[in-house]
Amino acid sequence: LIMVQAGAGTDATIDSLVPHLDQGDIIIDGGNAYFPDTQRRSKELEAKGFRFIGTGVSGGEEGALKGPSIMPGGQKSAYELVEPILTAISAKVGEDACCTYIGPDGAGHYVKMVHNGIEYGDMQLICEAYDLLQNVLGVTTEEL
């Protein structure tokens, strides 16, 4: 499981791992990769006999402490092998793990990209509402 900065850092980390892996080993990328990069990596690694899971991970600092939401994508057979590990470390709602197989190559990172877009849109909406309440309606911070 690697979690490094997306882009060249991910490629460099994978390149440094490959010589130490056995055929059939699974690499899980939990970074914030762009899904076409995940698709490319999956094809390249599969051609070399490895399996690759691109996994969206969400939760920030709280997720790091209490368990993140995990969105794995890639070969279903590879996911099934690591599912017990991913569900064990994921956040829980009641007894249910916040981890589910999203789909084939790139799907996990694609869903994470959509998740980020929604999250950033929500944050912008909150900022604009706060600004309007303070600067147009004169509501104080204490009142908010």
Q: Which helix or strand (DSSP H or E) is residue 29 part of? A: strand 26-29
Question: How far, in Å, CA of 117 to CA of 143, rounded?
Answer: 30
First to last CA, the chain: 42
Task: Name the residue among 67, 44, 68, 41 with its Cα closest to residue 54.
Answer: 41
Active site residue: 43, 66, 80, 119, which one? Answer: 119
Q: Is 76 marked active-site?
A: no
3-state secondary structure of 75: coil
Active site residue: 112, 128, 142, 143, which one? Answer: 112
Q: Is 112 marked active-site?
A: yes
- The token pair at 122 is 């929500």
Q: Which residues are catalytic?
A: 112, 119
